[in-house]
């Protein structure tokens, strides 16, 4: 993805790409800014709590961008999050969701009337962004590391944003 030339509009749309990933549908219509690239993924989750592997989508953006820098993956929601963890054994994802649920049950002593306080708390515990350095268009993830969108109050249409600099 080449940066937009000086006289071009500030934002430029990329094509839409769709793929199946962990049961959720991802789409990546991106926006290019002059000296950096911001992409927005649509993440369609299918259950109340779910981890969606978005590694290959972020890797494709980094590869197209090339060069060296830092990829920031940001989730602009208050009941969803993003994390980096093991991608080899799916039981790790199951265990993370299982123990978060044990730690913060869905029903309990909550005041927030929307009924999703557990999701808000889980989102803050896990966090809203991760950063990954990249060199020559390749992320420096460890062998067993994957990037996971974390749904805590689905199913919903969600977004994840990726900034490359």
Q: What are phi and psi of 123, to 5 degrees?
A: -60, -40
CB of 112 to Zn ion, least distance (A): 5
CB of 80 to Zn ion, least distance (A): 12
Q: At what angle do helices 90-103 and 117-126 cross, to 10 degrees?
A: 120
Residue closest to Zn ion when measured from CB atoms = 114
**Any contact of residue 89 with Zn ion (CB under 5 A)?**
no
Q: Closer CB to Zn ion, residue 91 or residue 114?
A: 114
- Residue 41 and residue 111: Cα distance in Å, rounded? 32
Give the alpha-carbon dihedral of 62, 63, 65, 67, to 10 degrees: 90
Q: Closer CB to Zn ion, residue 56 or residue 124?
A: 124
Of residues 100 through 139, those in contact with Zn ion by CB under 5 A are: 114, 116
Q: What residues make contact with Zn ion under the rule CB under 5 A? A: 114, 116
């Amino acid at each position: 993805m080449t940066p937009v030339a000086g006289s071009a509009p500030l934002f430029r749309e990329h094509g839409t790409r769709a793929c199946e990933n962990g049961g959720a549908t991802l789409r990546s219509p991106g926006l290019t800014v002059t000296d950096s690239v911001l992409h927005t993924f649509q993440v369609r989750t299918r259950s109340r709590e779910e981890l969606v592997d978005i590694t290959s989508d972020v890797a494709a953006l980094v590869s197209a961008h090339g060069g060296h820098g830092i990829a920031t993956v940001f989730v602009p929601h208050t009941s969803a999050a993003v994390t980096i963890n093991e991608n080899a054994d799916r039981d790790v994802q199951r265990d993370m969701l299982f123990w978060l649920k044990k730690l913060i049950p869905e029903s309990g002593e909550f005041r927030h009337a929307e009924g999703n306080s557990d999701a808000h708390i889980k989102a803050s515990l896990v966090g809203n962004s991760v950063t990954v350095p990249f060199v020559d268009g390749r992320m420096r993830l460890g062998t067993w590391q994957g990037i996971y969108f974390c749904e805590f109050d689905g199913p919903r249409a969600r977004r994840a944003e990726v900034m490359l600099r």
